[in-house]
Amino acid sequence: MDAPSDAFLWVKALHIIAVVCWFAALFYLPRLFVYHAMSDDTISHQRFQIMERKLYRGIMWPAMVATLITAHFLVDWGDATRHYHEAVWFYLKVGLVGLLVIYHFVCGHYRKKLMENAHYKSHKFWRYFNEMPTLILFAVVILVVVKPTF
């Protein structure tokens, strides 16, 4: 196998940075939902609305887009030597990333619902909802690092 090019390594580094930023936001936004649902005063509701909007639009969206764009280039460049498209783990990982994208959009939907009614769902619901990206993260990292054969 040939050594990866400098461009490939730069894109890989940017991909890792984007993934870390995206996951940080995926972990934090539902945590804000927990606190938002527990708050009772108007000032707190307004504060959480601002925090949630800035996190969703200013960090989550750009990080997701950067993650998906850099992933496309990594697969396109790397597939010639690493044969990703022949591996089951690769398709499982892509499916899990698809679930993360859906989770991302669901967070956006819930953010808007919380603006209308902070007690739309209980703080316990948000605590469980907050665990989904963690489970996906574990699975994706294991698939990418271990590359199990099925």
93 labelled as ligand-binding?
A: yes
* Structural tokens at position 50: 């601002």
- Burial (CB count <10 Å: 0-12, 13-18, 19+), residue 45: middle
Separation CA 12–CA 123 (nearest Å): 37
- For residue 112, the SS3 value is helix
Nearest C-alpha neighbor of 108 from the set 37, 58, 39: 58
Measured CA to CA, the distance from residue 47 to residue 99 in angstroms comes to 29
List, as residue ranges, the binding site.
15, 93
List, as residue ranges, the binding site for heme.
15, 93
